[in-house]
Structure 1
Amino acid sequence: MQDILKLKEVLETPRNIVITTHQKPDADALGSSLGIYNYLIKTGHKATVITPTDYPNFLNWMKGNENVIVYNENGNEEKSKKLVAEADLIFCLDFSNLKRINELGEAVAASKANKVLIDHHRDPDDFAEYVYHDVDSASTAQLIFKLIKLFGDKEQVDNDTADCLYAGIMTDTGSFKHPNTTQEVHEIVAELISLGANNSEVSRLIYDTNSLDRLKFLGFALSERLQVFEKEHAAYFAISMEDLKKFNSKNGDTEGLVNYALSIDGITMAALFTETEDGTKLSLRSIGDFEVNALAGEYFKGGGHKNAAGGKVEKSLEETVNLFEKIIKEYAKQLQNREKIEVYEQL
């Protein structure tokens, strides 16, 4: 593994660079990817962002979005593999395991390009030559900005790049309300605003551009799909494909839903189960010392942060919910322990 500062020396020569992030990218994943994309383009490199899957429409405003290649759409698989194979460097952002980028991970692993891992999730795999990793960082976007400053290139961060990075930090701190919102986070955000980040507009574009269908879906989920186990201090939503179809739901429409369950007074752990064609996707959230990443790994082939984790299982929605209900009964005593209040956003 090379010292991350040696990457600066590598980047002094124009390079052919691929940037990728995890499946179903959120604002931190896409914001950090397009943030460093704009920086690399501005400093003379050829760069391409490849995402394993699509992402929500409310992220489409980010500069460079029109050039993003979605691996599993429009026959882009071969084009993506060719770009990965021919790259000099591959930046891997906001994930710590190549399985998180699906089939694209095989191409990245096979590429002779040096890999750069920039991430804040636990237990990173050893696949990169350059690593900038910090589990205490609130977001990957925060790390991107710190790396650019470490390289002495803060002046290369224009308003568009600042907007992308601000979006990642804002969402991964839950609009600066979660305990991962440290003094350093506020200082970095202040710097990004001074560099041109339009904080109010970024917030509006992400949080206040709902479709009528999404608002109706939210009302339906709260009234018809929320299950609360007061004795066990747990709650969950179980959303079927039929539910999503009924409200014309698009990618991103379930974003943040799990936090409504966690916001109920007395709840220590909350879950969102979403039925897919090949199984069930889940998001877990907790407060206090209850570690949902350990639970996600043991029961749902997932992982993440202490208080925010996810996964996917090849089980039906009903089977997954039944398993979860058994789990919360087994962990009832631990769920009653609410000594410390900590809530972390995904992803």
Structure 2
Amino acid sequence: MLDTAALSQLLNQPCKIVITTHHKPDGDAMGSSLGLYNYLIQQGHHVQVIAPTDYPEFLAWMPGNEEVMIYTGQTEKAAELIAQAEIVFCLDFNNLTRINEMGELVRQSSAVKVMIDHHLEPEDFDDYRYWNINACAAAQLVYSFIVEELQRPDLINADVATCLYTGIMTDSASFRLPNTTAAVHRIVANLIEAGAVNWRIHELIYSNSSENRLRFLGHCLSNKMEILPEFKTAIIAVTREELKKYDTNTGDTEGIVNFALSIAGIRLAAFVVERTDMVKLSLRSKGEFPANEICKKYFKGGGHRNAAGGQSDLSLEQTVEKLKQILPEYKTLLIQ
């Protein structure tokens, strides 16, 4: 493993750098990636952000977004850039399977691999690791990496601040989760002072929905939500046909599970959606309930205690039934 001094020395001269994040990037994935991008370009580095897949349109306004490359649309060019890179930053993920086909390209690259992440059980593919499972967002860690490790708070300009604020805001559910500590609020205050316009960022993320998305949300809450009071659980299951009917785009399902969790008395919420190749699950929980344990044990996934995801090769109906059959195992935790 490299130490910070060795990495700082590498970064003291212009390098060819690739920044990547997990597939179907969310606000923290893109916020941390573009925040780091806007920091590095100030020092003359040649930087390319490569997202494994597309991401929601409501994230496309962030500074530097116009320079992002989507791997699935430019596979040959992306592979060339990864092969030529001297440093590859891996943000908001810690297992190379999370970047799909790009994983083996990164693994085989001779570049120094830097992981900045807050998820459990990291894979040992990295040369430098800045990792803390107690951080509320990867963007929080990117801020600390720049300010505390690299000692460059002077390069937190408005563009960097805007992107990092977006990442922290979205991954902390607008500063509502338990890991939104006093230290996080101090970082956020510093980002606002550096130029992040907090109210505008919130508006661009949360008040920028299409009509179709809102109608789809209404359909999910009115017609698709099932409450299991004996387990304090809510489940929303959506078919491929319903996604097509409402002309949903990437990101339109994001956050729907949180509406189910907001019901008084509910401790576990699940959003189960039938995709083209498999069924995906998003679980959210309150308190000490281990949503990540269910995803890891039964659905080939994982994540944080209160926010986790998984997948299933079963049909949508069979996946929902499997989830229901698991709940009695956790009844004591759910009803306490």
State whether TM-score is above 0.5: yes
Q: What residue in structure 2 maps to residue 140 of structure 1?
A: 138
Indicate conservation of the 8 Å contact 1:301/1:312, yes or no: yes
**Which deviations, in whole Å up to 9, do the C-alpha atoms of 1:270-302 show, x marking residues without a partner?**
100011111101101111221111110110000
Indicate conservation of the 8 Å contact 1:21/1:29, yes or no: yes
**Which deviations, in whole Å up to 9, do the C-alpha atoms of 1:93-140 show, x marking residues without a partner?**
000100000000010001011100000111111111111000011101
Give the SS at the match of 1:96.
coil
Q: What residue in structure 1 maps to residue 326 of structure 2?
A: 327
**Which deviations, in whole Å up to 9, do the C-alpha atoms of 1:243-274 show, x marking residues without a partner?**
11111111111111001111111111110001
Shift of the alpha carbon at 1:60? 0.3
Q: What residue in structure 1 maps to residue 226 of structure 2?
A: 227
Paired amino acid for 1:57: E
Root mean square deviation, CA, Å: 0.9
Supply the distance in 2 between the matched residues of 1:7 and 1:240 (Cα, whole angstroms). Answer: 47
Paired amino acid for 2:38: N
Which residues of 2 match residues 1-347 of structure 1 at below 5 A? 1-73=1-73, 76-150=74-148, 151-337=150-336
Give the SS at the match of 1:271.
strand
TM-score with structure 1 setting the length = 0.95
**Which deviations, in whole Å up to 9, do the C-alpha atoms of 1:70-104 show, x marking residues without a partner?**
1112xx11111111011000000000100000000
Supply the distance in 1 between the matched residues of 2:6 and 2:186 (Cα, whole angstroms). Answer: 26
Q: Which moved more, 1:238-247 or 1:16-25?
A: 238-247
Give the SS at the match of 2:213.
helix
Q: What residue in structure 2 maps to residue 340 of structure 1?
A: none
Shift of the alpha carbon at 1:157? 1.6
Indicate conservation of the 8 Å contact 1:138/1:172, yes or no: yes
Give the SS at the match of 1:328.
helix
Supply the distance in 2 between the matched residues of 1:133 and 1:171 (Cα, whole angstroms). Answer: 19
Paired amino acid for 1:63: P
Q: How many residues align?
A: 335
Paired amino acid for 2:29: A
Shift of the alpha carbon at 1:33? 0.3
Supply the distance in 2 between the matched residues of 1:277 and 1:79 (Cα, whole angstroms). Answer: 26
Supply the distance in 1 between the matched residues of 2:333 and 2:177 (Cα, whole angstroms). Answer: 22
Shift of the alpha carbon at 1:333? 2.1
Shift of the alpha carbon at 1:5? 3.8
Supply the distance in 2 between the matched residues of 1:72 and 1:240 (Cα, whole angstroms). Answer: 24
Paired amino acid for 2:198: N
Q: Which runs of 5+ in 1 are unaligned?
A: 338-347
Q: What residue in structure 2 maps to residue 341 of structure 1?
A: none
Supply the distance in 2 between the matched residues of 1:72 and 1:291 (Cα, whole angstroms). Answer: 33
Q: Which moved more, 1:102-111 or 1:3-12?
A: 3-12
Supply the distance in 1 between the matched residues of 2:288 and 2:112 (Cα, whole angstroms). Answer: 38
Paired amino acid for 2:158: N
Supply the distance in 1 between the matched residues of 2:223 and 2:5 (Cα, whole angstroms). Answer: 53
Supply the distance in 1 between the matched residues of 2:231 and 2:54 (Cα, whole angstroms). Answer: 36
Shift of the alpha carbon at 1:168? 0.3
Supply the distance in 1 between the matched residues of 2:318 and 2:4 (Cα, whole angstroms). Answer: 45
Supply the distance in 2 between the matched residues of 1:46 and 1:313 (Cα, whole angstroms). Answer: 40
Paired amino acid for 1:83: L
Give the SS at the match of 2:72.
coil
Q: Which moved more, 1:3-12 or 1:202-211?
A: 3-12
Instruction: State the identity as a percent.
Output: 51
Give the SS at the match of 1:135.
coil
Paired amino acid for 2:80: K
Supply the distance in 2 between the matched residues of 1:314 and 1:110 (Cα, whole angstroms). Answer: 29
Supply the distance in 1 between the matched residues of 2:192 and 2:35 (Cα, whole angstroms). Answer: 14
Indicate conservation of the 8 Å contact 1:15/1:45, yes or no: yes
Q: Which moved more, 1:93-102 or 1:143-152?
A: 143-152
Paired amino acid for 1:25: P
Indicate conservation of the 8 Å contact 1:36/1:161, yes or no: yes
TM-score with structure 2 setting the length = 0.98
Shift of the alpha carbon at 1:4? 2.8
| Structure with the largest fraction of helix | 2
**Which deviations, in whole Å up to 9, do the C-alpha atoms of 1:36-82 show, x marking residues without a partner?**
01111111100000011000000000111111111112xx1111111
Indicate conservation of the 8 Å contact 1:4/1:132, yes or no: no
